Every structure is written in C-alpha cells, then in structure tokens.
C-alpha cells in the first residue's frame, strides 16, 4: 500500500516559516506584503479557490485585497484596475482568477500585470525566464509539487518522469521544472499515442488533465510515485482526482490524495511568491 504524500502537513510547515518571515518584514521594514485577487463573475469553483486564498493570506499575516466584478465588466475596465494595482505600493502580488468571461482576453490580462507582481508566474516574461532557469517566481502548482517531492525525499535526478496534460499553468511548466531537476521527462497530452505503455515506464507520474479517475492501476508500474493534480467534482458532490486512488495506491510506493495533496501546496506557493515579491520590492528601493 502506498505511503500518502500529505500536502496539508507540508503546507502547514512552510506556512509557519512564511508567517515568521512576514512578521520579521513588518518589524524590520514596516512592510506588510499584500496580495490583490481579482474575480470576474460568479463561477462557484472560482469563489471557493478565492475564499481559500483569502483565508491563507490572513493565516500568515499577508494583506488580502479582493476585487469582485460582475460578469458584464468590460476588458478595458479590468485592464484599468490592473494598471492601478501595478502602481499601488501596498500590493506586491496581483492575481486574476481564471477562467475569464469570453469578452475578456486572458492573454491581454496576463500581459498587463507587472512581471514584478505576477505571483502566478503566467506573464510571458516570467515564463521565458523560467525556461532559461533565471527566475524569481515559479508557477504555484508545479513549484508546490517540487516542494512536496523534496519534503518526502523523493529522488528526481535521473528518474523517468511522465507528465500528463500540457496546460500553460501546470503540465508544461511541470515538465520544465522536472527537467531542470535532471529527470528524463515525457510530456503527454490528448493526442499522445500508447499513453498506457509510456506511463508504465515512469518512476514518477504527474497527472493534470481534469478527468476523474483517468489513471488506472494497469498504467502504473510497481513502486511508482503518483502525483494527482486533478480536481473533479462528482454528481454526488464528492471531489476526486485524475487518479483512480484505491487501485493505484495498491501499486504505487507514494501517492497524493485529493483533496489534501497538491491543492494546499498551490496556495502555499502563492503565499511564498507574494512574500518574495515584497522582499524584491524592498530591495529595489534600497
Ligand atoms: P487544462 O484543463 O487546461 O488541460 C487539460 C490537459 O489535459 C490538456 O493539455 C490535454 O491535452 C490533456 N488531456 C485531456 N484529456 C486527455 C487524455 N485523455 N489523455 C491525455 N491527456 C489528456 O489543464 P489544467 O488547467 O492543468 O487542469 C487540469 C486539472 O488540474 C483540472 O482538474 C484542474 O482543476 C486541476 N488543477 C488543480 C490545481 C491544484 O492546485 N490542485 C491547480 C490547477 C489545476
């Protein structure tokens, strides 16, 4: 039976360090790091994510500014708000909750956020910097997964890693970070042929596709480490991941549960990035 990789426990430990550093920053520089989160419309999943981010900020002493817009807001109005927040010294991190309504271009919104305040690391400048290994911010979910692997002492160097899903926010940057850590990485997606056979070669499998219980036991080799990024709400209200947890955990050596695996690490990395943005802001003013 696989050992559970507990994202809640690891998150708590990292958040305790962040809390101390936030207090230190307040005492020494008189600065309280601030995160602004913009939400457009009333998507219930977005509302839950944003509420969790707000609570996490309060928990570590980071100031949280929530800006809620109705569905009909124009792109210009949203961009104007971003311009305002870019200039606001109280705000170190800006995050626009995705997805956005169809009348607003995600690309233009992401590119409008100042790269120094882009704590999601979605801006093309930050993505480019990650590609060449010269970055300040790392995207929250992939970086949170690396922290989890490190915390549990899971060897990455030289291992065969399969990432399933090639989104800009999880799959692609995940493959980059695992490559940077010297894994041999295969990035799979909806057009991949022989996916099952590719998965069976992996020492570490990271699944981020948004399909409930997609990864089955016969796709996993004995002793593999399995990281489940997926969040799927079933008709009965239950949350399940992209991994068929019961059968895969009988074969894997270590596995993340859903909930309580990757999810808490994503928010914790967001807090880490906001603290870092505040520190970089202070350094820029010395
Ligand atoms: P996405 O929804 O943008 O894209 C899905 C990806 O999966 C695509 O690259 C597609 O090629 C691939 N895919 C779809 N069907 C496939 C199949 N049958 N075989 C192989 N590949 C297939 O991806 P996303 O935004 O990264 O989200 C993926 C999942 O992760 C969702 O459930 C999302 O809710 C969840 N998520 C969780 C966290 C967290 O903190 N835990 C963070 C971000 C996303």
Question: Which CATH number do you get for residue 162?
Answer: 3.40.50.720
Q: Is 66 a catalytic residue?
A: no
The backbone torsions φ and ψ at residue 183, rounded to the nearest 5 degrees and listed phi first, read -80, 160
Inside any domain, residue 151:
yes
100 and 160 fall within a common domain: no
Inside any domain, residue 268:
no
Q: Is 97 a catalytic residue?
A: yes
Report pTM. 0.97
Q: Whose CA is nearest to atom 40 of ligand 1?
A: 263
Inside any domain, residue 35:
yes
Q: What percent of the chain has pLDDT over 70?
A: 99
Burial class from Cβ neighbours inside 10 Å (0-12, 13-18, 19+) for residue 10 reads: buried
Q: What is the whole-number distance in angstroms between the Cα of residue 285 and the centre of ligand 1? A: 40
Inside any domain, residue 283:
no
Res 3: pLDDT: 98
38 and 148 fall within a common domain: no
Residue 40 scores a pLDDT above 60: yes
Q: Tell me which of 52, 210, 213 to substitute to probe ligand 1's pocket, judged by most ligand atoms within 8 Å of the beta carbon.
A: 210
CA distances from 62 to 14, 93, 124, 149, 268 (A): 14, 10, 26, 26, 12
Res 51: pLDDT: 95
98 and 165 fall within a common domain: no
Question: How far is it, in rounded angstroms, from Cα 119 to Cα 139?
Answer: 8
Three-state DSSP state, 45: helix
Please state the atom number of ligand 1 nearest to the C-alpha of residue 171.
26
214-258 tens-digit pLDDT? 999 999 999 999 999 999 999 999 999 999 999 999 999 999 999
Contacts of 88 (CB under 8 A, 6+ apart): 36
138-166 tens-digit pLDDT? 999 999 999 999 999 999 999 999 999 99
Work out the pLDDT band at 261, boundaries 50, 70, 90: very high
104-137 tens-digit pLDDT? 999 999 999 999 999 999 999 999 999 999 999 9
Q: What is the whole-number distance in angstroms between the Cα of residue 171 and the centre of ligand 1? A: 8
Question: How far is it, in rounded angstroms, from Cα 129 to Cα 123?
Answer: 10
For residue 198, the Cα-to-chain-centroid distance in whole angstroms is 25
Question: Which CATH number do you get for residue 108?
Answer: 3.40.50.10860
Ligand 1 neighbours by CB, cut-off 6 Å: 141, 164-167, 169-171, 188-190, 192, 195, 208-211, 229-232, 262-263, 266
- Angle between helix axes 7-29 and 262-284 (nearest 10 degrees) is 20
Question: How far is it, in rounded angstroms, from Cα 180 to Cα 189?
Answer: 21
- Angle between helix axes 7-29 and 44-60 (nearest 10 degrees) is 50
Virtual torsion, Cα 257, 259, 261, 266, nearest 10 deg? 150
User: Biggest alpha carbon distance in the chain?
Assistant: 57
165 and 259 fall within a common domain: yes
Question: How far is it, in rounded angstroms, from Cα 277 to Cα 273?
Answer: 6
41 and 89 fall within a common domain: yes
144 and 110 fall within a common domain: no
Domain count, the chain: 2
- 34-49 mean pLDDT: 93
Q: For the beta carbon of residue 246, count every other beta carbon within 10 angstroms.
A: 9
Asked if residue 45 lies in contact with residue 75, where contact means CB atoms within 8 angstroms, the answer is no
85 and 151 fall within a common domain: no
110: containing domain = 30-114
Helices (H), 72-139: 75-87, 106-112, 124-131
Inside any domain, residue 21:
no
Helix-, strand-, coil-residue percentages of the chain, each rounded to 5: 45, 15, 40
CA atoms within 13 A on the CB side of 240: 15
Inside any domain, residue 5:
no
Inside any domain, residue 224:
yes
Asked if residue 206 lies in contact with residue 167, where contact means CB atoms within 8 angstroms, the answer is no
86 and 52 fall within a common domain: yes
Res 285: pLDDT: 63
Nearest to 49 by CA among 177, 228, 233, 208: 233
Res 122: pLDDT: 97
157 and 258 fall within a common domain: yes
144 and 259 fall within a common domain: yes
């Amino acid at each position: 039976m696989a050992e559970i990789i507990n994202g809640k426990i690891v998150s708590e430990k990292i958040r305790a360090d962040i809390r101390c550093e936030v207090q230190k920053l307040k005492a020494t520089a008189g600065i309280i790091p601030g995160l602004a989160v913009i939400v457009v419309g009333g998507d219930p999943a977005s509302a839950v994510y944003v509420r969790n981010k707000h609570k996490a900020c309060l928990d570590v002493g980071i100031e949280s500014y929530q800006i809620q817009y109705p569905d009909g807001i124009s792109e210009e109005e949203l961009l104007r708000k971003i311009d305002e927040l870019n200039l606001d010294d109280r705000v170190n991190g800006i995050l626009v909750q995705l997805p956005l309504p169809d009348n607003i271009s995600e690309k233009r919104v992401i590119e409008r956020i100042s790269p120094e305040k882009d704590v999601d690391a979605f801006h093309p400048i930050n993505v480019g910097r990650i590609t060449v290994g010269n970055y300040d911010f790392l995207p929250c979910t992939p970086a949170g997964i690396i922290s989890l692997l490190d915390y549990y002492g899971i060897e990455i160097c030289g291992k065969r890693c399969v990432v399933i899903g090639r989104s800009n926010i999880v799959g692609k940057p995940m493959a980059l970070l695992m490559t940077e850590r010297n894994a041999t990485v295969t990035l799979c997606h909806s057009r991949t042929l022989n996916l099952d056979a590719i998965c069976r070669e992996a020492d570490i499998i990271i699944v981020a596709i948004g399909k409930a219980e997609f990864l089955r036991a016969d796709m996993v080799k004995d002793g593999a480490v399995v990281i489940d990024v997926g969040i799927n709400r079933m008709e009965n209200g239950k949350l399940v991941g992209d991994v068929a947890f019961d059968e895969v955990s009988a074969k894997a050596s270590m596995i993340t549960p859903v909930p309580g695996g990757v999810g808490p690490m994503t928010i914790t990395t967001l807090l880490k990035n906001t603290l870092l943005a505040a520190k970089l802001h202070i350094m820029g003013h010395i």
